[in-house]
Amino acid sequence: MKKNTMLLLSILFSFFTLSSVQQAKSTDHNYYWMKITAHDKFERSVIANLGVAIEIVKDDYVIAYGNDRELEKLKSMGKLVAASNLALEPLDFPTSDAAYHNYTELVEAMQTLAKQNPDLVQMTSIAKTIEGHDMWALRITSDFAHADQKPAAIYMGGHHAREHLSVEMPLMLAQYLIAQYRANNPRIVGLVNSRDIHIIPTVNPDGMEYDIKDTSYKMWRKNRARNSDGTYGVDLNRNYGFQWGTGGSSTDTESEVYMGPKAFSEVESTAIKNYIEAHVNITTLLSFHSFSKLILYPWGHKYDGIENEKAKAVHETMAKKMATWNDYEPGQASGLYIASGDTTDWAFGVHQIISFTFELDPANSGFGGGGFYPGAGVIQPVFDKNIEPMLYLLEYADNPYRVLNIGIGPIKP
């Protein structure tokens, strides 16, 4: 954390002390940014288990987002340092953040790419959400007839509704690949010819649309499933079916990290499962989230590392290499805190796919211009520093174990 942002945070949190918490939301529950004392992954996991969504991890505290019930619990535990429900600046998606794609614009951009490049791009709906949005996937290769026999990588964004920057990255990857292919960039021509590339810019179209409804951000994370008690939303990145519900997620339907009634209870997570299982040539996976500037890999559901030493080393080696390009901090997911039911634990745990989560820029939470709503100005620079990691995962999709330089081994352990 840079000194000036540290200062900003401390000023904000000293100003918005517990006594100055005000009502700012008109929903059933009020939601807060909370600064919470925690000194290691064990203490952080206790906090994660309360049901808040931890967004920033520092040496002696975390910044998390959660509801008033969770705030009261933390207060009674003596762990709450400060809280603020200061509404974010009334940012306006259609004007100041117009560069971000809403669902309609996203679909149009994907359709344009597919229509103009039928020889390179296929666009498929992989499911319809409960609010009737199609979940669209792009498949990019120059040889669809033999794509199944080529090494494949998958890129996803938008599991969490308010993480709009995570939707832009996969879309821009698709546009970049096509533009560079047409420009005869030899490296990209080689990749598009030799690889089977899968891109799903948003896994959560319902949530994404809800978050920008009425042109004011709602800090929404989950999907828009109607829970049995009438509340809304399941955390899609706690709903995958590997060691589901074993920590860092909540059974409370109002929690930010509500795991759902069962593993793969949701249309969206099930669609990703089915899609990945229909493409058994996928060997590398990247799921974009925001924010914190991190490169994370399994396990998330437990503190132990991946048992297979080679598979563990591949994740570690690739994460470190990718960090040289984007300058994010690499590490095992549970080094932050325990979280179960996420995409990468499932993809590696069940299918041995080498899997990463990127927490994109910025590093810090924002009151006015940071956090989940960093503004349109970051889109291009964040893409520019993440294109090499994306291409790297594609280049090594033929056999990620090549990064270990131990001769050509098995593609999967």
**Taking contact as CB under 5 A, which single stretch among the options 17-25, 34-42, 160-168, 372-380 is the one that binds Zn ion?**
160-168
3-state secondary structure of 294: strand
Q: Site size for Zn ion, by CB under 5 A?
A: 3
Considering only 160, 162, 164, 198, the residue that binds Zn ion (CB under 5 A) is 160
Shortest CB 289 distance to Zn ion, Å: 3
H helix or E strand, kind and range, residue 37: strand 31-37
Shortest CB 163 distance to Zn ion, Å: 5
Shortest CB 333 distance to Zn ion, Å: 12
**Taking contact as CB under 5 A, which single stretch among the options 86-94, 284-292, 294-302, 327-335 is the one that binds Zn ion?**
284-292
Nearer to Zn ion, 70 or 359 (CB): 359
Shortest CB 167 distance to Zn ion, Å: 11
**Taking contact as CB under 5 A, which single stretch among the options 58-66, 145-153, 289-297, 382-390 is the one that binds Zn ion?**
289-297
Say which of 70, 168, 359, 395 is annotated catalytic. 359
Owner of token pair 């026999």: 149
**Taking contact as CB under 5 A, which single stretch among the options 159-167, 251-259, 319-327, 340-348 is the one that binds Zn ion?**
159-167
Nearer to Zn ion, 224 or 312 (CB): 224
Contacts of 69 (CB under 8 A, 6+ apart): 29, 252, 254
Shortest CB 287 distance to Zn ion, Å: 9
Please give the Cα distance from 99 to 267 (Å, whole number). 28
Cβ count near 39 (within 10 Å): 11
Interaction with Zn ion in 184-243: which residues (CB under 5 A)?
none
**Taking contact as CB under 5 A, which single stretch among the options 72-80, 207-215, 288-296, 335-343 is the one that binds Zn ion?**
288-296
Nearer to Zn ion, 141 or 343 (CB): 343
Beta bridge partners of 200: 156
Contacts of 20 (CB under 8 A, 6+ apart): none
- Residue 344 Rama label (left phi>0; alpha psi -120 to 50; beta): alpha
Considering only 195, 224, 289, 315, the residue that binds Zn ion (CB under 5 A) is 289
Q: Contact at 8 Å (CB) between 180 and 117?
A: no
Q: Contact at 8 Å (CB) between 195 and 130?
A: no
Q: Tokens at residue 220, please?
A: 């929404």
Shortest CB 326 distance to Zn ion, Å: 17
Owner of token pair 């490169």: 295
- Using Cβ positions, the residue closest to Zn ion within the complex turns out to be 289
Residue 335's nearest CA partner among 40, 47, 12 is 40
71: burial class by Cβ within 10 Å (0-12, 13-18, 19+)? buried
Nearer to Zn ion, 273 or 289 (CB): 289
164 binds Zn ion (CB under 5 A): no
395 is catalytic: no
Q: Contact at 8 Å (CB) between 346 and 333?
A: no
The residues that are catalytic are 359
Residues lying near Zn ion in the complex (CB under 5 A) are found at 160, 163, 289
